[in-house]
Amino acid sequence: MSMLENADPVVRPFLGVERSATGQRWVARLDQAGENRALAMSQNHGLPDLISRVLAGRGVPFDNALEFLDPTLRRLMPEPYSLMDCQIATERLARAIERRERVAIFGDYDVDGASSSALLYRFLVHFGVEAEIYIPDRIFEGYGPNPNAIGQLIERGAQLIVTVDCGSTSHESLAVARDRGIDVVVIDHHQVGENLPLAHALVNPNREDDLSGQGHLSAAGVVFLVLVALQRLLRERGDGRAKTLDLLSMLDLVALSTVCDVVPLKGLNRAYVVKGLVAARHLGNAGLTALLKQAGIGGPVTPYHLGFLVGPRINAGGRIGDAALGSRLLTIDEPGEAERIAKQLDDLNRERQAMEAAMLAEAEAEAQAEYGTGEGASVILTAREGWHPGVVGLLASRLKDRFRRPSFAIAFDPSGKGTGSGRSISGFDMGRMVRAAVDEGILVKGGGHAMAAGLTVEREKLGRLRGFFEAKAERTVRDLVAVETLKIDGALSATGATLALADQLEQAGPYGSGHPQPIFALPAHRIRDVRPVGVNHLRVSLEGPDGGRIDAMAFRAADADLGIFLMKERGQAVHVAGTLSADSWQGSRRIQFRMLDAAKAF
């Protein structure tokens, strides 16, 4: 049974926790208005109390509750032509198919880029188009189209170039193609200003003149909309092959990109993930199936599997190996070759993990020397020569988690050129700040979106960049972190944390960016045991006041504040906060509690 609290988060902290092991104040997610909305959902829609509370706590309107629980493409998909330039792009792609032109797909080196490239490639190949995918090398070429690569593609016979998950700011590179008489279609989702490159079509719901309202989509989500329109157009023109293409079976790639690119799980993105998980569970994509097997995933595919087990392996190729491995894997139909590449990516991921651990120790030491605990800083910026440029994004993410500030990690090469990545905290638009630094002439180049950004900077401008970021972020970040809170959806006992409860919670998913997984507190549970497992993780055995027991995992916590607290309080009763889900292992299902925080139980 759940024991849900009705505490006013302003007047009284949840379970009296003013400052937890990680320095947060626990508050009830629902205020009185939320409580009332949850009650109305339960009474009027016949929803279980817990589901109503989860929906109300995430801002789901009363009238939309039932539709939210059943996200369908039919209801949520917009008219594709509502995206600026989508019709122009569709007609140009149709012409390429009808004329059997050679098409070059230029993608990004991350999961979204690999998924977008594979999605478009599979579509074109179905129609007999000779297509190739080009993924740039992260270190030697950097992000997005470059003039040399565009020239190579044209020399190899490309009659149409389509950029996916990149291209919106590639003025020079697109001009090269234009000067040589080659059309470029850009399909992207990154933020972009008024000055757009000269492309035949630029489909990006985040361009300032786009009124579609689909700016939350991943690049693969945008590509899918274009392909929906393209399939419709080809049907209208009498191409019989359009009737035999099962576009819905490719939604596994869209779900993969949506989860891994951490775009908000709202609107169409929810339908993409829900229907994409169904497609993934059918194991129709040989490459994705091989990677799931390599990652040891035995049960039904979940967003967690995609985001934390599959995604990092695909990204490993772009970070420290062959950047094209991920997209190649996702286009393969032969199981043996798929298993070979999946094994290669798994090996690269292990190598990346070891590299990341060494670099993270250096980054944290530098950050602590520069910023102390980070409380006086608005932006954490670390930089060092010798770091691998493909791993700096992971460093930035870890620093952001550690210091709870927008964070950057920059790898300098011997010439003084720095390649960096940043990760932001909720509420602070990092992409806008980076673009402002480009406009000021501080950065060679840079861009991104609200939660993540990339940049290139010269060493002599590092100090100026640090000061610029601090000034830009100071007021906003100060207000965001003034009162750090952990929102608790309710309290549970170990006995009440059942598979039936986890199944109920799954009905209100999938969870992710913009639709956070419910967090529950286990009040006054005694720490029976704490054991290190894996790389920096802890397995914690807990016993409730009623004698019920539950095992919890605290990931990447062994040397963090949470891990130190747990080791110190071994044998004592503490309040624990975390998320609850069902995990499949060797054919059986069990409860999995992921610990996020803990506090003394006075």
DSSP state of 602: -
| Per-residue confidence (pLDDT) for residue 138, from 0 to 100 | 83
Domains of the chain, each with CATH number or no CATH: 2-29+489-600 (2.40.50.140), 76-346 (3.90.1640.30), 372-481 (3.10.310.30)
- E strand or H helix that includes residue 272: helix 268-281
The DSSP line for 153-185 is HHHTT-SEEEEES--TT-HHHHHHHHHTT-EEE
| Per-residue confidence (pLDDT) for residue 455, from 0 to 100 | 94
| Per-residue confidence (pLDDT) for residue 6, from 0 to 100 | 38
The closest alpha carbon to 566, from 591, 593, 521, 532, belongs to 532
- Contact between residue 268 and residue 251 where contact means Cβ atoms under 8 Å apart: no
> Is the N-terminal amide bond of 510 cis, ω within 30° of 0?
yes
What is the per-residue pLDDT across 497-532, written as a single tens digit (0 to 9) for each? 999 999 989 889 999 888 999 999 999 999 999 999
Tokens of 398: 């870890």
| Per-residue confidence (pLDDT) for residue 172, from 0 to 100 | 95
| Per-residue confidence (pLDDT) for residue 351, from 0 to 100 | 94
| Per-residue confidence (pLDDT) for residue 507, from 0 to 100 | 87
| Per-residue confidence (pLDDT) for residue 191, from 0 to 100 | 85
Rounded (5°) CA angle 401-407-410: 125
Q: pTM of this prediction?
A: 0.87
| Per-residue confidence (pLDDT) for residue 335, from 0 to 100 | 96
Question: 8-40 burial, b if ≥16 CB within 10 A, otherwise e?
Answer: ebeeebbbebeebbbebbbbbbbbeebbebbee
Flag residues of the chain having pLDDT under 50: 1-11
